[in-house]
Amino acid sequence: MQIILYAIGFGLLGYLSGSLPFAIWITRLVKGVDVRDSGSGHATTTNTIRQAGILPGAAVFILDVAKGFAPTWLALHYAPAAWIVPLTAALAVVGHCWPIFAGFRGGMGLATANGGMLAAFPFAIFITYAMLGLLTLILRHSARASVITGILFAPLLWLVGQRGLVLWIAAAVGLVVAFRFLIDWNRKYRELWLDREKKTG
């Protein structure tokens, strides 16, 4: 029973941390607009850059990584059972994608997912973004590249010699990211810049 209570507590910590909508707050502070009202319609780093500039976008990226890192790090060090850690990391990504503090309309989860993996394996963020960039160049479709990258989070880390808990974290957050990006599977892109739709007519 005590382990279940710990799981609920860490799960809530992860979800509530992930639910902090920094892209919405920062874009509203800098430009007075809701980041979700244009561009991709998502509360993401790239949409923040497009609407508020590079520095606000960089701040959003760092904070989105941090809100995945912090609860996962705490679970790694204080949770009484190993399985609570990937649960916490996954729920942080769920919170980012469907935030309770922003009407359940959030971002896409990549930065927060990488924050969770960063807590267990610092080099993970470089591996996953390298794979995402490569797949985006090949497929010329960032959403589909992100779905595949999410699925490949864990296998990629296995290939570079990682074993144990980090793979479970990668699998948990990767599946959430892959599921989230399915919403944009058929989005049409004008260029490789994320989330820009091709104009018709």
- Return the C-alpha torsion angle 124, 122, 76, 109, nearest 10: -50
Q: What is the pLDDT of residues 127-167, one digit of tens each?
A: 988 999 999 999 989 899 999 999 999 999 999 899 999 99
Which of the four pLDDT bands, split at 50, 70 and 90, describes residue 200?
very low
pLDDT of 24 reads 96
| Contact in structure between 102 and 146 (CB atoms under 8 Å) | no
Q: What is the pLDDT of residues 40-84, one digit of tens each?
A: 889 999 899 989 999 999 999 999 999 999 999 999 999 999 999
Residue 193, pLDDT above cutoff 80: no
